[in-house]
């Protein structure tokens, strides 16, 4: 269920068995987050990942520090969050910090970090991307699929 030119990440043929995957979910916007988390869990199950570690953090700003702690013991990390634009610059700071922080974790550790932070102007945009009934996109699934496909690729490349 990808949209607007996004590729469908086909998990057929992806052997993710034995991969250790951590999923970090923020607490804000619970309906959207429930959809994202459900999508991520479905993708991981489709790829053969057993028992992903799921942890919750207060908000999207806290995703990078949790990712940094979990990355050394994981083959992939999936970071899920929602930031909805408000009337202050807070949106810009949180989005920038989450993006830079998660990128830094991936590059520094060599562990794929799926970037599932929805940056929305309205809550409806988040609902449209959350993989819920009536949603146009399933970003939780897409992000987890991308992270696990990348981890499987890295495993196939060896050390």
| Catalytically active residues, by annotation | 90
Let me know how many helices (H) and strands (E) the chain has, helices first: 5, 4
Q: Residue 14 contacts by C-beta under 8 Å, 6 or more apart in sequence?
A: 47, 48, 148, 149, 152
Residue 2: closest CA among 145, 120, 119, 150: 145
Extract the tokens encoding 101: 């922080």
Q: What angle do CA 144, 52, 31 make, to 5 degrees?
A: 60
């Amino acid at each position: 269920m990808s949209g607007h030119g996004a590729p469908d990440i086909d998990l057929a043929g992806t052997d993710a068995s034995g991969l250790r995957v951590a999923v970090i979910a923020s607490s804000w916007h619970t309906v959207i987050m429930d959809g994202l988390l459900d999508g991520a869990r479905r993708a991981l199950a489709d790829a053969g990942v057993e028992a992903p570690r799921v942890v919750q953090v207060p908000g999207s700003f806290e995703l990078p520090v949790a990712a940094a702690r979990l990355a050394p013991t994981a083959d992939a990390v999936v970071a899920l969050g929602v930031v909805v634009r408000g009337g202050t610059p807070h949106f810009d700071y949180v989005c920038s910090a989450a993006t830079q922080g998660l990128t830094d974790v991936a590059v520094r550790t060599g562990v794929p970090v799926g970037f599932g932070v929805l940056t929305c102007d309205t809550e409806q945009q988040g609902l449209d991307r959350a993989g819920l009934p009536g949603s146009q996109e399933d970003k939780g699934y897409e992000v987890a699929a991308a992270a696990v496909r990348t981890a499987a690729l890295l495993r196939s490349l060896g050390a």
